Amino acid sequence: MVIGSVFGRRSLWLRLVFTIGVFTVLLSACGDGDDGDDDDDDVETSTETEATEPASESTVSETATGEPASTATGESSAEFDEDAVADFYRGKTITILVGFSAGGGYDLQARLIAEHIGQYIPGNPTVIVENMEGAGSLVAWNHMYSAGPTDGTLIGYSAGSQILQQVLGNPAVEFDAQQVQYLGAHTQDTFVLVVTNTSGVTDIEQILPPDPEEELTLGGTAPGSTSADVPLVLEDVLGANINLITGYDGNAAIALAMESGEIEGFSPGLDSLRSAYAEQFENDWSPLVTLTEERVSDLGDVPAILEFAPDASAEQVITYGIIRPAQFIRPLVVAADVPEDRVLALSRAIEQLAEDETYQTASADAGLQMNPLTGDQLRAFVEDFFAMPEDVRARLQELLAP
């Protein structure tokens, strides 16, 4: 009796669904054909997600910059000729070009991506990592855009903060951030000014006016890198008492200089601190200030940099010079001339990889937090960045352009 009752209810339910379906088809056939209002049904509701948990579906999360940042994973809806893409990539090698030396946070994540992404690219090519450090990753940016292969076998993975150098008119920039093709990103980052426990500086106010008690010696790579730009902005906007030493070929070299006592701190991403430099961050280094609009919840009482901005103008310079670039700091990109179907295939592979549980676990074990963006979302952030107020651009040009 129970079984018969269940199937009876199910049959009634199916008839009801069928009737509703027929009614819906007839109703749409009688309509005026204007589906514009129906688009609202596809808009996803904004929700807050924990940064420590990999995203499993399209969401909108609050980034460390205080800006709402859409994150989306899942298969791309764009169609392409998968057989043609597979025929091209089969037996080939894709190189992920990292703009920093081996051993840093970029290098670590690139190697994780290379290890797992091949299964999602049609044709299952081999994927390797190549390091090309120099000028805060500008050398790698330029090579990817102007000198590297444009057939889809080279993916650039360098500091998105170099895009600021294009905005400021640096003549050494040979790439166009508005022309490169964005594949996506698995990480948005939060930058932190960290110092050695032997530096004697435990509070940022020790290096701020009116009477700074200490001078802080920081290390950086080159203009356009966060490690070099942050100290320059803090010196000018906040009057921080900083001695900046540049010329290091990557954060790994800066970390060694901190260990030797040559410098006292630098400004890496929080992901790098928790992955490549987890031991030092736990035992030897302390966060002085987060380079964010608001405090980072899991860093306790560490203040956010905007708490020290003296006025609205200073806030804007810090926001565009330091905070906003964190939104697109780790973009995966290809050159402008890469064929569209291969771009779509690579973009879909990056989105699918973000949902791979094995990759998620490996990333979590390495201290990397998933906060993915699609290529379209990256491009939107970059386009918005290019529209910065002219007075802010002029101020940053004076501060940061070589």
- The DSSP secondary structure of 135-170, one letter per residue, reads GGGHHHHHIIIIIS--SSSEEEE--GGGHHHHHTT-
pLDDT of residue 77: 52
Q: Which of 107, 207, 227 is nearest to 157 (CA)?
A: 107
Over pLDDT 70: what percentage of the chain?
81
Q: How far apart are CA 348 and CA 336, in angstroms?
A: 18
pLDDT digits (tens, 9 = 90+) for 356-366: 999 999 999 98
Q: Which of 153, 154, 160 is nearest to 97 (CA)?
A: 154
Q: What is the DSSP letter of 65?
A: T
Work out the average pLDDT over 177-200: 95
Query: At a CB cut-off of 8 Å and minimum separation 6, what does 173 contact?
Result: 138, 141, 142, 162, 165, 166
- Where are the strands (E) in 41-124, listed by range? 59-62, 68-71, 93-98
Q: Report whether pLDDT(347) > 90.
A: yes
Query: At a CB cut-off of 8 Å and minimum separation 6, what does 94 contact?
Result: 118, 121, 125, 126, 127, 128, 152, 153, 154, 155
Confidence tier at 261 by pLDDT (50, 70, 90): very high
CA distances from 377 to 253, 317, 395 (A): 32, 23, 27
Q: How far apart are CA 189 and CA 286, in angstroms?
A: 18
Q: How far apart are CA 334 and CA 183, in angstroms?
A: 7
Q: How far apart are CA 203 and CA 207, in angstroms?
A: 8
Helix (H, G, I), strand (E, B) or coil at 89: helix
Confidence tier at 54 by pLDDT (50, 70, 90): very low
Q: Report whether pLDDT(36) > 50.
A: no
Kindly state the tokens that stand for 358.
């094995």
Query: At a CB cut-off of 8 Å and minimum separation 6, what does 31 contact?
Result: none
CB 315 within 8 A of CB 208: no
- Predicted TM-score (pTM) of the model is 0.74
Q: Which residue has the higher pLDDT, 281 or 366?
A: 281
Q: Report whether pLDDT(98) > 90.
A: yes
Ordered domains of the chain (ranges, CATH): 59-188+327-400 (3.40.190.150), 192-325 (3.40.190.10)
Helix (H, G, I), strand (E, B) or coil at 288: strand
Over pLDDT 90: what percentage of the chain?
70
Q: How far apart are CA 289 and CA 180, in angstroms?
A: 33
Q: What is the DSSP letter of 54?
A: -
Q: Report whether pLDDT(343) > 80.
A: yes
Query: At a CB cut-off of 8 Å and minimum separation 6, what does 193 contact?
Result: 204, 218, 230, 234, 265, 266, 267, 287, 288, 289, 290, 291
Q: Report whether pLDDT(271) > 70.
A: yes
pLDDT of residue 28: 40
Q: Report whether pLDDT(275) > 60.
A: yes
Q: Which of 56, 47, 74, 49 is nearest to 360 (CA)?
A: 56
Least confident of 12-21, 215-224, 352-361, 363-372: 12-21
